[in-house]
Structure 1
Amino acid sequence: MSAPVIALGELTDPRVLRLLEDHLADMFAESPPESVHALDVSGLQHPSVTFWVLSDGDEVLGCVALKQLDPTHGELKTMRTDAAARGRGFGRLLLEHVLAEATARGYRRISLETGTQEFFRPARTLYARAGFVETGPFADYRLDPFSVFMTRELAREGAPDPA
């Protein structure tokens, strides 16, 4: 196995589409439809969204997206590790990539929404370990018993990393 690579994702690649279909299927299996905030392909194609894929050769291992909410605030979206690749640290790699990109863009914070159910516990644990703290709804979200909202302040140039 070579070193995995994170690069801009191609939303017409059948391997990527399968990963996104699996992601949406899990979201709808775990949450009521009105509580599913995952982006589909058309949402990922929006100009405010940048989408990356983690791959190793021909194998797609995961994906992640970053949505610009305003010039200082980004939202983590569509973070997914393929079921066969879980437990190998790829989620952490994807998250570190997005945090570095958000910092490079000059964002002051990055926020996310994830589920409250047991299925989402590994994601919530990963985010908490990376310095995210629970907060209230942001952007267009509303309080929802199936949603947890988290945010992390980002280091500015010359300032210490807050995590």
Structure 2
Amino acid sequence: MDIRLNDVTGEQVIALLEEHHQDMLLHSPIESVHALDVSGLQAEGVKFWCAWLGDELAGCGALKQLDAKHAELKSMRTASKHLRKGVAAGLLKHILKDAQESGYQQLSLETGSMAAFAPAWALYQSFGFEFCGPFANYPLDPYSKFMSKSLASI
């Protein structure tokens, strides 16, 4: 698996981001879907990676700066064809390393609260994330779960 910073405008990337957004809408109302769109992923302070298996896009993930010491994990998605092959774990390990090297002391994320998100919770917990309250500008929302990890521990 080749993980690299990626241009958000490629056809496969846009298709995976659209799949991600549509899947979020199956489980949460639109006001509770916080996935970044293409312009959000191109914003200053956001790094976006893709995992490639040959010429196939296997997954993606992003790191969004909240402040000098705190970043947010965004847009984690594995392509349906590549589920349960270690793509998400590989991306998460890569992003955690980059976050620590960038000087962040804390990494947080927002994910869904429905049972469909249980595999994501388990992945994040296996990397040391713990459930927490809302952070940054997120409101308390029954459709959201929040998790955070100190980067001093990796």
**Fold match (TM-score > 0.5):** yes
Structure 1 outlier segments of 4+, above 4 Å: none
Match 2:18 to one of 18, 21, 25: 21
Q: Please give the residue correspondences for 1:43-62 in structure 2 after superposition, counting only pairs within 5 Å.
A: 43-62=40-59
Structure 2 Cα separation of the partners of residues 152 and 12 of structure 1: 30
Residues 1:95 and 2:104 aligned together: no
Residues 1:114 and 2:111 aligned together: yes
Which amino acid is 1:68 matched to? Q
Match 1:71 to one of 68, 72, 84: 68
**SS in structure 2 of the partner of residue 65 of structure 1:** strand
Q: What corresponds to 1:83 in structure 2? A: 80
Q: What corresponds to 1:159 in structure 2? A: none
Which amino acid is 2:3 matched to? I
What is the root-mean-square deviation of aligned Cα atoms in Å? 0.8
Which amino acid is 2:121 matched to? R
Instruction: Tell me by how many angstroms 1:74 deviates.
Output: 0.5
What fraction of aligned residue pairs are identical, expressed as a percent? Answer: 51
Residues 1:31 and 2:28 aligned together: yes
Structure 2, unmatched stretches of 5+, are none
Instruction: Tell me by how many angstroms 1:77 deviates.
Output: 0.1
Question: What do the CA deviations read for 1:18-63 (whole angstroms, capped 9, x no partner)?
Answer: 1111001101111011100000101101111110000011100000
Which amino acid is 2:67 matched to? D
TM-score normalised by L of structure 1: 0.92
Instruction: Tell me by how many angstroms 1:141 deviates.
Output: 0.3
Q: What corresponds to 1:7 in structure 2? A: 4
Instruction: Tell me by how many angstroms 1:11 deviates.
Output: 1.3
Structure 1, unmatched stretches of 5+, are 156-161
Instruction: Tell me by how many angstroms 1:12 deviates.
Output: 1.5
What is the number of residues matched between the two proteins? 154
State which structure, 1 or 2, has the greater radius of gyration over its C-alpha atoms.
1
Which amino acid is 1:131 matched to? G
Question: What do the CA deviations read for 1:132-151 (whole angstroms, capped 9, x no partner)?
Answer: 00111100001000100000
